[in-house]
């Protein structure tokens, strides 16, 4: 088997030189475990955060993954079963059901497997929790989401529409992504954040203001949203991708006191504190996936050997929807 390991800590943007592909013997399953050959890997912004200290050096990395059982010593798992687990960044893994969220997946007809690492996985759950728990979005309310063409962002747009949101505005890093948001995802407006300050661009895209904001970026995006929020507006702060690749402290937001002046609410969201919502979320979303009203937005890079490139590409914004890696022949389905 092959594992990917981090070999040194980056300052600023990581490169391929911070990683190594390391061969190891395929392990034999002990009683109660099964050997899985991985087919789909998720690469995530939080991996960049973990590179600063939480990932041990010269040890296999972790991440959300799907794989098929190839040998089992657990009566509850048979050869060919599909398993979700967190021992990603490697070709094979020994899994134990029930530990670290390891579970067997039986995808209903019409639900592609890639959904379990994108809109139906932790990415989609983050969006659902931010909208229904943190923001408690009500029908007709106007919403802004940053990194809107990414995994969480596209899920926010699609789920907010299902929840009856009013005007949905998104920001993204290219004209192609902006066109995808308004053309394919039904956003009412979108802008490329390179075209000016978010404060100005958002004021133009949402001239009457917004009620709620899902923040994936932090910094100037947060400042712009605070400026556009109406009185009693809410912010679900999900991530700060604008800050992960720099050691500099953020210069924005400079208008934090508007939180007081407009009686805003700003609350952090960590999906791992809401895993109990997964069942409710699947009940809500699966019918829409089966009917085709909602589809997973995914960029699938083929070939495990390209996992580091896919991860770095995601940090650079090369993904539309959730960035995934698939084994050759597994495809994005
Ligand atoms: N709190 C939680 O539990 C939780 C769970 C999942 C994810 N998150 C957070 O949610 C955010 C999105 O995660 P994701 O997995 O869906 O990733 P993603 O949005 O699919 O991928 C990252 C995107 O960030 C954008 N980006 C990169 N550098 C940027 C910058 N300097 N300014 C603005 N945008 C930048 C890029 O798109 P552009 O081309 O648009 O720049 C890139 O495609 C991240 O902040 C992540 O940490 C949090």
Phi, psi of 224 (to 5 degrees): -65, -40
Ligand 1 contacts CB of residue 124 (under 6 A): no
Query: At residue 211, what are phi and psi to the nearest 5 degrees?
Result: -95, -30
Is 237 in contact with 218 (CB distance < 8 Å)?
yes
State the distance from the centre of ligand 1 to the C-alpha of 240, rounded, in angstroms: 7
Task: Provide the pLDDT confidence category of residue 330 given band limits of 50, 70 and 90.
Answer: low
Is the backbone peptide bond immediately before 318 cis, with ω within 30 degrees of 0?
no
- Quote the ligand 1 centre to 58 CA distance (angstroms): 26
Q: What confidence tens digit (pLDDT) does each residue in 187-213 have?
A: 999 999 999 999 999 999 999 999 999
Which structure tokens are listed for 59?
A: 């040890």
Which residues touch 216 (CB under 8 Å, ≥6 apart)? 145, 146, 147, 150, 152, 153, 238, 239, 241
Using the predicted structure, report yes or no on whether residue 333 has a pLDDT greater than 80.
Answer: no
Q: Is 150 in the pocket of ligand 1 (CB under 6 A)?
A: yes
Pair type for strands 92-95 and 2-6: unpaired
Domain boundaries 124-272, corresponding CATH code: 3.40.50.720
Task: Provide the pLDDT for residue 256.
Answer: 97
| Ligand 1, atom 9: closest residue by C-alpha | 239
- Residue-wise pLDDT tens digits, 114-150: 999 999 999 999 999 999 999 999 999 999 999 999 9
pLDDT on residue 247: 87
Whether the pLDDT of residue 23 is over 80: the answer is yes
Our answer on whether the CB atom of 154 is closer than 6 Å to any ligand 1 atom is no
Average pLDDT of the chain is: 97
- Is the CB of 152 inside a 6 Å radius of any atom of ligand 1? yes
Nearest atom in ligand 1 to the alpha carbon of residue 44 is 15
CA distance 82 to 105: 6
Give the torsion through C-alpha atoms of 159, 160, 164, 170, to 10 deg. -140
Domain 2-118+296-326 class? alpha beta
Q: Per-domain residue ranges for the chain?
A: 2-118+296-326, 124-272
Residues 267 and 237 sit within 8 Å (Cβ to Cβ): yes
């Amino acid at each position: 088997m092959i594992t990917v390991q981090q070999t040194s800590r980056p300052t600023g943007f990581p490169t391929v030189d911070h990683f190594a592909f390391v061969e190891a013997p395929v392990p034999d399953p002990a009683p109660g475990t099964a050997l899985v050959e991985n087919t789909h890997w998720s690469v995530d912004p939080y991996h960049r955060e973990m590179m600063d200290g939480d990932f041990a050096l010269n040890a296999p990395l972790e991440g959300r993954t799907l794989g098929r059982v190839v040998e089992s010593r657990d009566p509850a798992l048979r050869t060919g079963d599909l398993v979700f687990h967190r021992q990603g960044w490697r070709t094979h893994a020994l899994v134990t059901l029930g530990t670290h969220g390891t579970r067997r997946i039986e995808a209903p007809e019409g639900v592609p497997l890639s959904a379990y690492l994108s809109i139906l996985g932790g990415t989609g759950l983050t969006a659902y929790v931010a909208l229904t728990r943190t923001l408690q979005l009500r029908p007709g309310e106007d919403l802004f989401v940053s990194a809107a063409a990414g995994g969480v962002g596209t899920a926010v747009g699609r789920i907010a529409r299902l929840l009856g949101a009013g005007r949905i505005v998104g920001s993204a890093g290219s004209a192609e992504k902006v066109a995808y948001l308004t053309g394919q995802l039904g956003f009412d407006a979108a802008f490329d954040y390179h075209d000016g300050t978010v404060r100005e661009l958002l004021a133009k895209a949402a001239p009457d203001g917004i009620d709620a904001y899902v923040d994936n970026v932090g910094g100037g995006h947060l400042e712009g949203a605070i400026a556009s929020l109406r009185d009693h507006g809410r912010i679900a702060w999900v991530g700060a991708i604008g800050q992960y690749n720099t050691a500099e402290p953020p210069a924005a937001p400079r208008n934090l006191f508007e939180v007081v002046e407009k009686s805003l609410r700003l609350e952090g969201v960590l999906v791992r504190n809401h895993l109990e919502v997964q069942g409710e979320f699947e009940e809500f979303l699966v019918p829409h996936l089966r009917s085709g009203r909602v589809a997973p937005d995914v960029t699938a890079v083929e070939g495990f050997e390209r996992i580091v490139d896919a991860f770095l590409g995601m940090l650079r914004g090369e993904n539309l929807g959730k960035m995934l890696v698939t084994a050759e022949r597994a495809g994005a389905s």
